[in-house]
Amino acid sequence: MNFTEQVVLITGGSRGLGRAFAQALVAAGARVAITARGASELHEIAAQLSSAADQVIAIPADVVDPEAAPRVVAETEQRLGPITLLINNAGQFRAFGRIGDMDPFEWWNEVEVNLKGPLLYAHAVLPSMRARRQGRRLTTAAPWPRPCRTLAGSPRPA
């Protein structure tokens, strides 16, 4: 596929699927912005992906920070051009176990990363996409390593 003339923003772009998406899209000619919390790792990955400053940029940010998404979108569009594809890839899947055994704050953090993060980035990128009548969003979810036993109504005894 040819992705020249495409600008892609990838959350969770420093590891796993996000990094693989970035590699494939850069190879296909896209200009790519990657974002994640770890600044040093993020900049290292961006440098590995391309030496061209106008092809890959790294923007450190936390997906649950409501001020970060508009800032990341604005910086991406200023440096690379209008975003044509948003890949909401940042996610966490660590809070497993019985409700009584897990940390409720850790569980809630996962809810924020997995639900609030994609909402914040979609909300930030949609005005520009709508104005141009062009753009796509893709939200990924890594498979759960085992069935979730923490859902309300779970048939497990306390």
Q: Give all domains of the chain, ordered by start, each with its CATH number.
A: 7-139 (3.40.50.720)
Q: What is the mean pLDDT of residues 33-62?
A: 92
Q: What is the mean pLDDT of residues 58-86?
A: 97
36 band by pLDDT with thresholds 50, 70 and 90: very high
Can you tell me the distance from the alpha carbon of 110 to that of 140, in angstroms, rounded to the nearest whole number?
Answer: 14
Instruction: Give all strands (DSSP E) within the chain, no chain letters.
Output: 7-11, 31-36, 56-60, 85-88, 136-139
Can you tell me the distance from the alpha carbon of 154 to that of 54, in angstroms, rounded to the nearest whole number?
Answer: 49
3-class secondary-structure state, position 2: coil
87 band by pLDDT with thresholds 50, 70 and 90: very high
Tens of pLDDT, residues 91-137: 887 777 788 888 889 888 888 998 999 999 999 999 999 999 999 99
Can you tell me the distance from the alpha carbon of 102 to that of 97, in angstroms, rounded to the nearest whole number?
Answer: 6
Does 144 have pLDDT greater than 70?
Answer: no
Location of structure tokens 């450190």? 60
51 band by pLDDT with thresholds 50, 70 and 90: confident
Q: What proportion of the chain, given as a percentage, has pLDDT over 70?
A: 89
Does 148 have pLDDT greater than 70?
Answer: no
Amino acid 158: pLDDT: 41
Can you tell me the distance from the alpha carbon of 66 to that of 10, in angstroms, rounded to the nearest whole number?
Answer: 17
Amino acid 152: pLDDT: 46
pTM assigned to the model? 0.86
50 band by pLDDT with thresholds 50, 70 and 90: confident
Amino acid 76: pLDDT: 98
Contact 84, 6 (CB under 8 A): yes
Does 151 have pLDDT greater than 70?
Answer: no
How big is the chain by its Cα radius of gyration, in Å? 17
3-class secondary-structure state, position 74: helix
